[in-house]
Structure 1
Amino acid sequence: MVDIPFATVDELKARWPDFPAGGESYAEVHLEDASQFILDVCPSAVEVSAGTRRRVVCAVVRRAMQASAAGQVGMSQMSETAGPFSASWTASNPNGDYYLTKQELKALGGGGRPKALSIPAGDVGWCPSHRLWCSLAFGATYCSCGADLTLDEPLWEA
């Protein structure tokens, strides 16, 4: 098992030059929560290097903490008008949620491209009359087409 959190507050500060003053205890809680979030979303993270986990958790925490900061950080859209004085901002992460980018997910060993599924053709289980889409074809321990009851033809899914 890996140690949680994946990074310390000092390691976060080293990667974030504008770390908010007095935010150490807040960052410490975020580092623990984000580390657990990473394990929940991408269990394969335990198999990657400690440096990769450290880098990713610092990025996740930085995004979450910047969401609550004032200013233009974390804005996906901004609009200002000089007269008659209107302004509009849309935050990209208004609640400070944790999320992984595609690059981070890939670095943690997750987010691979989907692969094609193949279903074995022919006999399924001990009865040659099972349908190809019977639960037995997908590794179940029960028949969903009913061929095991008749020993000849499926009762359902015909």
Structure 2
Amino acid sequence: MSITVDDLRVFAPGIDEAKAQAMIEDALGTAALLAPCLFEDEFEHPAAAKAILRAAILRWDEAGTGAVTQMSAGPFQRTVDTSSPRRRLFWPSEIDDLTKMCRTSGSGAFTVDTVPTGPAIVHADICSLRFGAAYCSCGAALTRGGALWEQ
């Protein structure tokens, strides 16, 4: 997946090439941390990822173009700032969308059953458990089946 300066010029014809290239490198580097699968050869959604990255870069490009307007009437003044400071390159919704593209259908929580499903443990007639002990002396607890010793 790649983005070129020409991809941005469709929406921002006046963008400086050096600035655009630096912004593209920053966006691709950040995206690689968030969703490494974007750069794999078998990636399934390159157009969607490109749209998200392009929108973020264009938003970043437009962030500094706001105007500051000042009005005054006598002792009263009013200042209107329409610029938006850059905080993060990607919005949380864009981060979610990029990471969702890398998820596989098999990922998620699962359990492993550790309870034995084999036959019941059969202790020997002379096993200590049969005489009230808290331990097995015949070895059936080790084999999970029949007695190992004291047969």
**Alignment TM-score, normalising by the size of structure 2:** 0.51
Alignment match of 2:35 (pick from 34, 42, 59): 42
Aligned length: 107
Amino acid at match of 2:86: N
Shift in alpha-carbon separation, 1:110–1:63, aligned structure 2, 3 A:
farther
Flag the structure with larger Rg.
2
Q: 2:22 aligns to what?
A: 29
Identity %: 16
Q: CA deviation at 1:26?
A: 0.3
Secondary structure at 1:85 match in 2:
strand
Aligned equivalents of 2:110 and 2:46: distance in 1?
Answer: 36
Match of 2:142 in 1: none
Check whether the contact 1:60–1:98 (CA below 8 A) recurs between aligned residues: yes
CA, structure 1 residues 104+120, in 2 after alignment: closer, same or farther (shift >3 Å)? closer
Amino acid at match of 1:99: F
| Structure-1 separation of matches of 2:13 and 2:83 | 19
CA-atom RMSD, angstroms? 3.8
TM-score scaled to structure 1, two decimals? 0.49
Structure 1: 5+ residue runs without aligned partners?
Answer: 73-79, 124-158
Q: Are the counterparts in 1 of residues 24 and 57 from structure 2 also a CA contact under 8 Å?
A: yes
Deviations 1:104-151 (A, max 9, x none): 63256159xxx985665757xxxxxxxxxxxxxxxxxxxxxxxxxxxx
4+ residue runs of structure 1 moved beyond 4 angstroms?
Answer: 80-83, 115-123
Change (3 A) 1:121 1:81: farther
Is the Cα contact below 8 Å between 2:67 and 2:81 reproduced in 1?
A: no
